[in-house]
Amino acid sequence: MNYNNLYGQYPGTPYPAPQAPSAVGKAKEKPEYSKAELVLSVFALIAAYCFVRYVVFHATGFITTGLFMSITTAEVIYMKKKGCKFSAFNTVLTAVLYIFSIVFSITANNLIKSLDAIFLVAAGAYLIYSVGAGNKGVDRYLPFAMTKALFVNPFSGFTKQTDIAADSLSDSKTASNIKYILLGLLITFPVTMIVAGLLMAADDGVEKMLTDIVNKIFSDEMWNVLIQISIALPCSLYLFGMLYMNTHRKDIKELDENNCRQKIFRMRFISNLAVYTAVTPLCVLYVMFFISQAQYYLSAFSGSLPEGYTYADYARRGFFELFTVALINLGVLCFMSLHSKKAGREKPFALKFYSIVLSVFTIILIATAMSKMVMYIDAYGLTELRLYTSWFMVLLAMVFVMIIIKQFRFEMKFAKHLCIIFTLMFGVLCFSRPEAIIAKYNIEMYHAGQLEELDRETILRMSDDGLLAAFNEGEITEEEIESAKERLYQRDTFGKYNISAIVLDNMTE
């Protein structure tokens, strides 16, 4: 008798049950969500679209102020709803966001508004991160924290919004309703097209009405809206992911200061002696430079010109070269601090000495450059480039002063003080309305006889800030303003909704 069978079993032995194939991977975990996440998802989508339309695509005013304030308010409400506590530091940072949101309403300057938008996005991301982490101050390792706030956490939760939307729509009744709606639209579309064609043939009024609708659908503005929506979708996922991940922190890896220290320690691979050897020729070169060019460069402090130079040649030749040298020195100092084998708390005296010497030399160069720029401005007036570059040079000088202090006080929280100084300086730049200052200063210098001529063409190319200042001083006419308005991009669509534009419109009506 043959006892063999398909499974090699004896007769009467039950066949083994078929084994299910092993799971290839773990089932995707459903995200945790409540009504707050559903509301946030809708808000994020609307806010993202408004951000793209009223920040990215258009020069803006009151609308953008309201938008950023609304986003900040929604962030605060949602995070408090999720049980997050706001420390005094986070409360101050929230107030800073509200204050800088006002900039869009008080100025018509596109550059300032663009810089302010970048500042608000970065500061807003850090606020969400800081509240979620329970911070009571600026992170000591701020670059690592900003990386997590702007990139790691938001992109870790980039699909959370779609996951929550898919899970909430998976309810049988909701999914069935959506299916029936789509089916009904699909069925009625060809019938609607046939009826529309017949009505257009029967009546001129209907033909005109439907033609206008079709033209609007395929107009440039409609294509702009579609492009804005396509950009807004990833922005919405980013915003939602940022808020979700920072309030559901079990899914993210916390910033560990020990890991940060280890990462910085691993960057130290160059012998200190090699660093000293590399920097010494640079310091010697600066000493030779100051000695050989003392009369040329120190003329700036006395307000006199070296022989054979005009104000334009003297200021231009010196300022931007010294500006570049200051940036190079900042890079050298950063390289020394990051890559020297012995740095940080164990930084030897020699490395501190070289850091101080380079910083002092740079501050002297900045002071010389600023003195030369003051001479140039006194002779030829202000321009946007001169003002912005001077502002940055002052900020750079403050950074080098902090670097010097840091060599004597290692425990000084450099990131904290840098953030405070930058925020204050940036506030001065934004709220001073630079173009208004430039126009008013040049006009006053011209009336005082210190400027040979007033560059009216430059003023007429300014935003409403400069135009308003010039009109108040009586230097431009209503006709010139109206002509300038037609050329100004910032007055397109929503760009005229700021204080300068409204005041100027009321004064020239």
Domain boundaries, given as residue ranges, for the chain: 35-163+251-255, 267-432, 436-507
Q: Which amino acid is at 350?
A: A
Residue 31: what pLDDT? 74
Residue 155: what pLDDT? 96
Q: What is the pLDDT of residues 110-122, one digit of tens each?
A: 899 999 999 999 9
Residue 1: what pLDDT? 43
Residue 43: what pLDDT? 96
Say whether 253 sits in a helix, a strand or coil: coil
Measured CA distances, 27 to 20, 30, 206 (Å): 16, 9, 55
Q: Which amino acid is at 470?
A: A
* Closest to 80 measured CA to CA, from 122, 20, 10, 127: 127
- For 261-265, which contacts have Cβ atoms below 8 Å and span 24 or more sequence positions? 263/144, 264/141, 264/338, 264/344, 265/344
Residues of the chain with pLDDT under 50: 1-18, 20-25
Q: What share of the chain is helix, strand, coil (3-state, %, to 5)?
A: 75, 0, 25
Residue 315: what pLDDT? 60
Burial of 443 (0-12, 13-18, 19+ CB in 10 A): buried
Residue 40: what pLDDT? 95
Which residues have a Cβ under 8 Å from the Cβ of 292 and sit 6 or more positions away?
none
Residue 340: beta bridge partners?
A: 270
Convert 450-483 to b/e letters by CB count within 10 Å (16 or more is b).
Answer: ebeebeeebbbebbbbbbbbbbbbebbeeebbee
Residue 271, by phi and psi: left (phi above 0), alpha (psi -120 to 50) or beta? Answer: beta
Assess contact for 498 and 435: CB atoms under 8 A: no
Reported pTM: 0.86
CA distance 395 to 393: 5
Other Cβ atoms closer than 10 A to 176: 10
Residue 17: what pLDDT? 47
Q: What single-letter DSSP state applies at residue 307?
A: T
Residue 303: what pLDDT? 57
Residue 171: what pLDDT? 63
* Closest to 313 measured CA to CA, from 358, 248, 379, 256: 379
Residue 172: what pLDDT? 54
Residue 270: beta bridge partners?
A: 340
Residue 314: what pLDDT? 62
φ/ψ of 340, rounded to 5, equals -70, 140
Which residues have a Cβ under 8 Å from the Cβ of 256 and sit 6 or more positions away?
none
CA distance 206 to 192: 14
Convert 215-243 to b/e letters by CB count within 10 Å (16 or more is b).
Answer: eeeeeeeeeeeeebeebbeebbbbbbbbb
Q: What is the pLDDT of residues 204-214, one digit of tens each?
A: 777 788 777 77
Burial of 432 (0-12, 13-18, 19+ CB in 10 A): middle
Tokens 């300057």 belong to 109
Residue 167: what pLDDT? 82
Residue 20: what pLDDT? 47
